[in-house]
Amino acid sequence: MLLGAVFEREIRFAPRSRGLFVARSVYCAALLAIVATCWLVVTGTQSITTPGDTARFGATLLRILAPLQLSLAMLAAALTGAVAVSSEKDRRTLELLLVSRLSDRELVLGKLAASLVRVLLLLVSAVPIFAIAGLFGGVTPGQLARLFAVTTAAALAAASIATAVAFWKETTFQALAITMFALVAWVAAGELAAAWRGAEAGAVVSPARAAFAALSPAGQPLLLPFLGVCASIIVAANLIAVTQVRHWNVAGEARPRSPAQAAAARRPSREVWKNPILWREICTRAYGRTILLVRVAWLLLFAAAVAGIVQEAGRDRPDRLAVAIAVVPMALASLVAVAALAVTSVTTERDRGSLDLLLVSDLEPQEFVWGKLLGVLTVAREIVLLPLLLCAALVLAGIATAEDGIYLAIGMAILLFFAAVLGFHAGLSYASSRRAIAVALGTVAFLFVGVATTMRIMVAFDASFELQLAPFLAAIVGGAVGLYAALAARNPSPAIAWASALLPVLTFVAITGFLQGNTLQVLLVTAAAYGFATLALLVPAIGAFDLLTGRTTTGE
């Protein structure tokens, strides 16, 4: 077989997995909730009396659902592809696969295909929901077919990139961070092509622009060139992975040590700090030997974002959407990278068996928790500081006032620390590394994509925010239930329940304040919502440390 035993091993029990059915049910229910919310918003604020009104609603609805599904499909495909390979490395089972009778092609393509099963099933389950837009009119089956073709191709390309990077890099964090950089660079390349050669060139390169082009009759000729770009990425990524997989994962171990390496191995021991966890996080190669590559990648993202800001600042009336396109991708990538580093700082210890050694030592819970969190923020200093410097760049370019820049920097700092605490909490709460990483990164993506979708609905239907609150209540309640189910999996507490209930509500209030221009209100609400959520996760991580980790204490 082309895919071989790896594919069979990965998906043998997938059709009977409860999580597979739950994921599809939750995804379809979320899409239905968005459809119902949009309908309640438009019928509560406008008069729908003619077929033309319903047709315009159907077209607008599809433009709301299309970028949402594209973002989730690409993120989910990249996440599952990277984690599927990195978890094999962390458990030391990749070496067993490499010494087996599997060929390199079967190993790479098998892992890729198995990681795509869940994502493709989610896309298939969403087809009837998207077809509802066609019932309103204004949407043709051809548009839906082109949209799903673009989404599927982009997801396949994202998974191929993630799988190749995961085979290349030595730690889960490096694989996830470089994958996020590659996806953001892909979108940035599309925007650069659009600025240089026009919107049609951007639609050929960028997945987001291709999705919107697929919804317009004039965008049909651009479908094949974009699919060609995705096919080139898929072929190139998998070809590199197949030809280099053994060199990346075997050659380094088989190569004899040079005299310089042998001398370095015999260097004298170093003095350990009072907090050994913090010392190990900062002063050793706990996150791999090539973490420098991740830092260079974020410097490139920062340079690209600054270039976009400077370009808009040179115009008489800067385009707010163009500024957002320059800033938001790096902000999202930073939040995901910080959460990924925090969760893998715990899951890697568990997979390699070193967490058990730490738990039987005399380490206090405070030393472990703060050592990990401060170590994560220190190792990811470029990832944390560069988004804050973007806020200063907005002020220096004259796009934002000094007051708004300060508010933005403080809010971004709060969100980054929340992402770190969220990742650490998920790493402690879930014994399965895949599930812990999925919960941490999925929660960040849910909050970010949920905010973007809510803003899109509010702007698209142009109604008063007071009238939109009632239709959004179902989505708010559903989000609160989902957050509580994810965050309180192992140690439910009243604080986590309150945080799960308040976070969607206060986020909605912050969105309305932003759209109305009340920047101070946005900062205060964000600080209250995410500050309380951070404390709700941080306090149990220390107070219930023994319960979360399975550590047993005995009295003297």
Task: Estimate to the nearest angstrom the gap between the alpha carbon of 75 and the chain centroid.
Answer: 6
* pLDDT tens series, the chain, 556 aa: 445 555 555 555 444 456 667 778 888 888 888 888 888 777 766 677 778 888 888 888 888 888 889 988 998 899 888 888 888 887 788 888 888 888 888 888 888 888 888 889 889 999 998 888 878 877 888 889 999 999 999 999 999 999 999 999 888 888 888 998 899 889 888 888 887 887 788 888 989 889 888 888 766 777 889 999 999 999 999 999 999 988 888 754 444 555 555 555 555 666 777 777 888 788 777 676 667 888 888 998 898 888 888 888 877 777 777 788 888 888 888 998 899 889 988 888 887 777 777 777 777 778 888 888 888 898 888 899 999 999 999 898 888 889 999 999 999 999 999 999 999 988 888 888 888 888 888 888 888 888 878 777 777 766 555 666 666 777 788 788 888 888 886 677 888 889 988 888 888 888 888 877 888 889 999 999 999 999 988 887 666 665 556 665 444 3
- Give CA–CA dist 124/375, Å, rounded: 42
Q: So what's the pLDDT on residue 13?
A: 44
Helix and strand element counts for the chain (H, E):
24, 0
Whether the predicted model's global pTM rises above the 0.85 cut: no
Q: So what's the pLDDT on residue 215?
A: 84
- Give CA–CA dist 60/88, Å, rounded: 43
Cβ(172)–Cβ(79) below 8 Å: no
Q: So what's the pLDDT on residue 15?
A: 45
- Give CA–CA dist 529/537, Å, rounded: 13
- Give CA–CA dist 118/417, Å, rounded: 31
